[in-house]
Chains A and B, each alone.
Chain A
C-alpha cells in the first residue's frame, strides 16, 4: 500500500522568504507521479506542482519547486519569495493517497 507522510503539521515563513515543506512516501510502483496540492482556507483544492518519477529533473512552477530524491523517497516543496496568498494547507499526494497536510502561515 502507498503511504505519504508529512511530518510538519505547521510551518511559518516571513513574507518574501523561502520555506521548504517536507514529504516522504512509500510505493511499490516503478513508475508513478507525485503531487503537491494547496487548499486555502474555505477554498478549493488546487494543484501546485507535479513530478513524474521517471524524470530526474526536479519540477518547477514559477516560485514553486520540488526536491525529488527517488532513492530516499523524498519529495519536498520549496516556495520562494513567499507571498501572503501562499497561506494555506499543503498536501503531498501519490496520487490518490494524501499526507496529513502542512498548514503554512505567511507573516507580513
Chain B
C-alpha cells in the first residue's frame, strides 16, 4: 500500500481567496485522484490527474475553479479558487495501487470558508 500525506491538514479561509492543497506519495504512481467530501456526505470525484497530461474533470467541476498540477509521479496539487462557503469540505487525494484499481487515500484537508 502507498503512504500519502496532505498539506495542510486543515485551514480556515476567507471567501474570495484561494487555497492550494498538496498531496505527496511515498512511491511513484500513474494515477492520482482528487475527491471532495462535504460534511457528513459521500465522496465525489473532482478530477483524475496523470503525470504529463491535463487533468480530467468530472461533470460539475471545472479547471478554472479547481486547477490541478501533477509535476511528477509522486506529487500533485489541487487549488480551490475564489472560495465561497459552499466550498467548505474535506478534500481527499488518493492513488491507485495494488491490487488493481484499489485506492489508497490521504488523510484529507479539512477546509472551512467563512
Interface residues of A (CB under 8 A from B): 33, 35, 37, 43-47, 50, 91, 93, 95-101
Smallest beta-carbon distance A28→chain B, Å: 16
Residues in B whose Cβ lies below 8 Å from that of A47: 1, 102-104
Residues in A whose Cβ lies below 8 Å from that of B94: 45
Chain B contact residues, majority secondary structure:
strand
Residues in A whose Cβ lies below 8 Å from that of B42: 91, 98-101
A35 to B99, CA, bound (A): 11
A98 to B33, CA, bound (A): 13
Is the CB–CB distance between B108 and A44 below 8 Å?
Answer: yes
**9 interchain residue pairs of minimum CB distance:** A45-B105, A98-B43, A95-B101, A33-B101, A100-B42, A98-B42, A44-B107, A96-B45, A101-B42
Interface size on B, residues (CB 8 A): 20
Q: Which residue of B lies closest to A92 (CB)?
A: B42
A69 to B1, CA, bound (A): 28
Interface residues of B (CB under 8 A from A): 1, 33, 41-45, 48, 92, 94, 99-108
Residues in A whose Cβ lies below 8 Å from that of B99: 50
Is the CB–CB distance between A44 and B105 below 8 Å?
Answer: yes
A107 to B49, CA, bound (A): 41
Is the CB–CB distance between A100 and B41 below 8 Å?
Answer: yes
Residues in B whose Cβ lies below 8 Å from that of A45: 92, 94, 105
A97 to B108, CA, bound (A): 18
A97 to B59, CA, bound (A): 13
Residues in B whose Cβ lies below 8 Å from that of A43: 107
Is the CB–CB distance between A44 and B106 below 8 Å?
Answer: yes
Smallest beta-carbon distance B36→chain A, Å: 11
Is the CB–CB distance between B102 and A46 below 8 Å?
Answer: no
Residue among B1, B101, B103 with max Cβ neighbours from chain A (10 Å): B101
